[in-house]
Amino acid sequence: MDFTYDDEQVALRDAVRGLVGKTYSDHEHRRQTVNDEPGFDEKQWARMAEMGILGLPFAEADGGVGAGPVEIGIVAQEMGRVIAPEPFLTCVVLAGGLVSAAGSAEQREEILGAVAEGERVLALAHDEPGRGWVSTASAVTAAEQGGTWTLEGVKEPVVQGARADTLVVTAALPDGGTGLFLVDGDAADLRRDSYRTYDGGRAAKVTFSGTAATPLGEVADREATVATILDVGRITAANEALGSMETALRLTTDYLKSRKQFGVTLNTFQALTFRAADMYVSLELASSMVQWATMVLMSGDAEAASDAARRTALQVSRAARHVGQEAIQLHGGIGVTAEYAVGNHVARLTALDHLLGDGTHHLGGLVSRIGDHEGVDPLR
């Protein structure tokens, strides 16, 4: 049992912190970046590719680095610390993860190699209006004629759906089940309506109208694969939220020590310092759970990872709301301004909470299994 990073992991963390932290520790720079299209910095994306970050999870044969969940978690935490807007989670972990899991050897090499090089941005087109946080597709349907596949229907919201060079799409198969398809960003009969999201990102309504699509790997029901990658995404999102919560708490304690009211600094008031102490408690408990889930992911046991993802998502959802809401309250008015960082952290935490299932959703999953076990034992 070991909760610490090894030397290589520490080196990776320091390198990522150097690159990502340096770029966005100036919050004004981050603000300008998210105001310009496409909501992130293409040059920063290229620097991340150079550092090897964009190919981290992919096999070496596919042009990646072959790193594990701990390394992915480290990158996500460092990005969360400065709320870096680059689409690491959605492009590399989710969409890239599906290509890695389901694609043919040729597809993996071509697509993942290009992702790792920073030359191709992927988006996962999975969410459908009226449905949330499931691992199946129904509103977008796939049809085959003469060996050619086409898609019909609407996906929304698709994070970075307009910027993406390639869409990884889930669709209902003619014989039932959920298939995976690739759609070129330039495809005819593809419509992408982009808009801003409150966390500084971009999302799109993506409409398929007989749009040509390429099956990702063999055509088959891929629900289990989708579910597994969504769980990986949940644990990655939890890592990102952890980094963001740490910053939100640090900004808050810095503020309490420096801001004067009634002639004294705010940390003179015990009511405020006790609330900060409770934020710390939430953060540490969430941190323990995130580290655990990341290690469970390493084990490669999909069922265990699913349970860990659910439990961690619940804990982090509760913690992120507590830490985020208190961070703003303890700052006072400046906490709700866009020009100051802390409110933007809360916005990003809220987005992470709702991307892949919030606390109440995951609690429902736990309740349905409440009689299956005597207690929960983390040690193996």
Q: Which residues bind other proteins (CB under 8 A)?
A: 1-6, 9, 70, 249, 253, 256-257, 267, 270, 273-274, 276-278, 280-281, 284-289, 291-292, 294-296, 298-299, 311, 314-315, 363, 366-367, 370-371, 374-376, 378-380
Q: Which is nearer to other proteins, 145 or 270 (CB)?
A: 270
Q: Which is nearer to other proteins, 188 or 376 (CB)?
A: 376
Q: Which residues contact 18 (CB under 8 A, 6 or more apart)?
A: none
DSSP string, 221-269: --HHHHHHHHHHHHHHHHHHHHHHHHHHHHHHHHHHHH-EETTEEGGG-
**For the chain, how far is it from start to end, CA to CA, in angstroms?**
9
Q: Which is nearer to other proteins, 143 or 363 (CB)?
A: 363
Residue 170 C-beta: closest distance to other proteins, Å: 29
Q: What is the dihedral of CA 320, 322, 324, 330, to 10 degrees?
A: -160
Contact 215, 144 (CB under 8 A): no
Residue 238 C-beta: closest distance to other proteins, Å: 12
The H or E element spanning position 296 is helix 270-298
What is the CA 119 to chain-centroid distance, rounded?
A: 20
Instruction: Identify residue 277 by its one-letter amino acid code.
Output: A
What distance in Å separates the CA atoms of residue 7 and residue 323, rounded to the nearest whole number? 31
Q: Which is nearer to other proteins, 164 or 293 (CB)?
A: 293
Q: Which is nearer to other proteins, 20 or 70 (CB)?
A: 70
Residue 275 C-beta: closest distance to other proteins, Å: 9
Residue 281 C-beta: closest distance to other proteins, Å: 5
Residue 314 C-beta: closest distance to other proteins, Å: 6
Residue 168 C-beta: closest distance to other proteins, Å: 29
What six digits make up the tokens of 81? 């610390």
Q: Which residues contact 278 (CB under 8 A, 6 or more apart)?
A: 322, 326
Q: Which is nearer to other proteins, 192 or 310 (CB)?
A: 310
150: left (phi over 0), alpha (psi -120 to 50) or beta: beta
Q: Which is nearer to other proteins, 145 or 368 (CB)?
A: 368
Q: Which is nearer to other proteins, 25 or 288 (CB)?
A: 288
Residue 208 C-beta: closest distance to other proteins, Å: 38
Q: What burial class does residue 102 get, using C-beta atoms within 10 Å of its C-beta: 0-12 exposed, 13-18 middle, 19+ buried?
A: buried
8-state DSSP, 17: I
Q: What sign for the dihedral angle of Cα 165, 143, 158, 241?
A: negative
Residue 303 C-beta: closest distance to other proteins, Å: 15
What distance in Å separates the CA atoms of residue 313 and residue 353, rounded to the nearest whole number? 8
Residue 337 C-beta: closest distance to other proteins, Å: 23
Contact 300, 12 (CB under 8 A): no
Q: Which residues contact 67 (CB under 8 A, 6 or more apart)?
A: 56, 57
| N residues, the chain | 380
What distance in Å separates the CA atoms of residue 82 and residue 76, rounded to the nearest whole number? 10
Q: Which is nearer to other proteins, 71 or 127 (CB)?
A: 71
Residue 360 C-beta: closest distance to other proteins, Å: 9
Q: Which is nearer to other proteins, 222 or 331 (CB)?
A: 331
